[in-house]
Amino acid sequence: MRKVFAAQLLAEFKQNQRLMLLAGDLGYGVLEDIVKQCPRQYLNVGVAEQNMMGIATGLALEGYSVFVYSIANFPILRCLEQVRNDVCYHGANVKIVSIGGGFSYGGLGFSHHATEDLAIMRAMPYMTVVAPGDRFETAQATAVLARHVGPAYLRLDKLDKSLPDSAAAGDTGFSLGKARVLRPGKDVTLMASGGIVFEALKAAELLAQEGVDCRVLSMHTVSPLDVDAVTKAARETRALVTVEEHTVTGGLGSAVAETCLEAAVLPHKFYRLGLRTGFATAVGSQEYLRKQYGMAAIHIQDTVKRLLG
Amino acid sequence: MSTAALAKQIRIGALRMTSRGGASHIASILSIADIVAVLYGQTLRVDPAQPRWPARDRFIISKGHAGAAVYVALAERGFFPASLLDTYFKDGSVLSGHFSHKEVPGSEFSTGSLGHGLPVGCGMAYAAKLQSGSQRVFVLLSDGECDEGSNWEAALFAPHHRLDNLVAIVDFNKFQSLDAVEKTLNLEPLADKWRSFGWAVKEVDGHDHAALQQTLGALPFEKEKPSCLIAHTLKGKGVSFMEQNPITWHYRTAKGEEFEAALKEMERA
């Protein structure tokens, strides 16, 4: 999805000279076209994330809208106080882009697993948090954030796939803060953020074969959450299962639970599928780690069957 | 108003504010009173009638704990009524103990956690270069703050990009929060460090107005290099018993007899 992001950003750059991209010495094979075609709008600040976030803020306060690009936790956790004090407190127009959401860089080890980012960024004041599930959502999110005023976090998966056409399911396309209905269903609702939505779709197909009709929602915007889609799902279906390549603490699942409780619309059954072991210490690909840590389609299928009893 | 008169106002104003509000850091404030007075009294191109004037010089107080000095300077320059200073550090005020920009005309950037100002200053200076703007960016740091690695990330960046519109002023009063700098985490040779990173460095007596005016009146120190001014200062400057116990007065609030004694020294100066 990073190439889709870069291509869309390039298109935006050509229309708006006040857009900038800061890279933390990463982006090999991804950012070259931007560097070549819009050199004045690009800056590699070196391996210095605290400085990068400060510079982004300084530029933003001078009228630029600044995308900051790095991988995994580097542009958020390494410089979290700069994100909070500099970017958020000043409402600066900084869009933090992390490629390598969840286990995208699985085999590289725990340092490159972004599995607390949604929770942490969701807690940042004024922060919009977006985790697109496919190429389309990535391009749309990039275009929207290029026009968005205020801080935002864009979590990109390494995968490069397109979701099936969902217009027939009633999906009206991409709108920030609005869930996409990828598949209609009346028994159970599966909600997923990021590329792991493909596992949810696969699980829905497996369950359909067993006579369970699953609604699948792409919750590409984790904050602000689509309250209507969540409460509707809690009312209309018998179970809610959230799926995220992320710790179960504080991310999508928590956001959905908070939303339901405060709206006094209690789901009949509810479960958060995600990382429950703290760190993922096994070594392996994204696909392998999803299986190892209970987030693959088969686990979603098992969870739904258990909930429905 | 002369810069000396402004410095006196800053000292007296900050003493009153911290005393009434029950706030700390008076010694850190007194340390920069003369620097801030020269900046706002002479160096900075700012206009109280248009606080967001695009071509204004930007000033960031990165040692946000001494922000009271800047609040007084802004009020004295007419950015907001001096009566607002009486609310400092009190319930419902917009003037927080550490420097905040929210609803404070003339302030650029909120600080309080150390090591944030210089990177943001780099971004502002880089933006000015992109826009061929004439404005300059000044960042005032404390010496203890130089322990923060983020400053040295920025110290690498600014010379690499030839940001000669950026000025870092280090308030080198030789004391940090708990002890002397050289006993805590030695910074010396401090000027050589900045120089070796690629900055044009000058050293000055941070309480000598003529020297400060002259040095800050000739910027940049070298073309195509960011400027670093190391200001040698006394923590607690202007109050003898604070100069003698700078660590105590990093924390203590002057009340009662101590307040009166400090005020008397300031008014006599």
B208-224, pLDDT tens digit by residue?
Answer: 999 999 999 999 999 99
Please say if the pLDDT value at position B145 is more than 90. Answer: yes
**Cis amide linkage into residue A224, ω under 30° from 0:** yes
Please say if the pLDDT value at position A172 is more than 90. Answer: no
To the nearest whole Å, the CA of B40 is away from the closest chain A CA by 21
Q: Number of A to B CB contacts under 8 A, please give it.
A: 85
Give percent above pLDDT 90 in chain A: 93
**Cis amide linkage into residue B220, ω under 30° from 0:** yes
Alpha carbons B265 and B240: distance in angstroms, whole number: 8
Which residues lie closer than 8 Å to B221 by C-beta, 6 or more apart? B200, B201, B202, B227
Alpha helices in chain A (DSSP H): 2-15, 32-37, 49-61, 80-81, 117-122, 135-147, 197-209, 227-236, 252-263, 286-292, 297-308
pLDDT for A158 equals: 86
ipTM for this model: 0.97
Alpha carbons B138 and A167: distance in angstroms, whole number: 55
Q: Tell whether A80 lies on the interface with B, counting CB pairs under 8 A.
A: no
For A281-293, what is the mean pLDDT? 95
Report the CATH number of the B3-268 domain. 3.40.50.970
Contact by Cβ (8 Å): B108, B60:
yes
Give percent above pLDDT 70 in chain A: 100
Radius of gyration of chain B (CA): 17
To the nearest whole Å, the CA of A79 is away from the closest chain B CA by 10
B52-99, pLDDT tens digit by residue?
Answer: 999 999 999 999 999 999 999 999 999 999 999 999 999 999 999 999
The pLDDT confidence band at residue A166, using thresholds 50, 70 and 90, is confident
Please say if the pLDDT value at position A168 is more than 90. Answer: no
The pLDDT confidence band at residue A167, using thresholds 50, 70 and 90, is confident
Q: Which residues of chain B make contact with A87, given a CB cutoff of 8 A?
A: none
* Phi, psi values for residue B217, rounded to 5°: -90, -5
Q: Tell whether B119 lies on the interface with A, counting CB pairs under 8 A.
A: yes
Please say if the pLDDT value at position B48 is more than 90. Answer: yes
Q: Which residues of chain A make contact with B53, given a CB cutoff of 8 A?
A: none
**Do residue B150 and residue A51 have CB atoms under 8 angstroms apart?**
yes
Alpha carbons B76 and B88: distance in angstroms, whole number: 15
Alpha helices in chain B (DSSP H): 3-21, 26-38, 67-76, 117-130, 149-160, 181-184, 190-197, 209-216, 240-244, 248-251, 256-268
Please say if the pLDDT value at position B131 is more than 90. Answer: yes
Average pLDDT, chain B: 97
Q: Within a 10 A sphere around the Cβ of A278, how many other Cβ atoms?
A: 11
Domains belonging to chain A, first-starting first, are 2-156 (3.40.50.970), 173-308 (3.40.50.920)
Look at the pTM and tell me if it is higher than 0.80.
yes
For B120-135, what is the mean pLDDT? 97
Please say if the pLDDT value at position A160 is more than 90. Answer: no
* Phi, psi values for residue A249, rounded to 5°: -90, 115
**Do residue B130 and residue A40 have CB atoms under 8 angstroms apart?**
yes
Please say if the pLDDT value at position A169 is more than 90. Answer: no
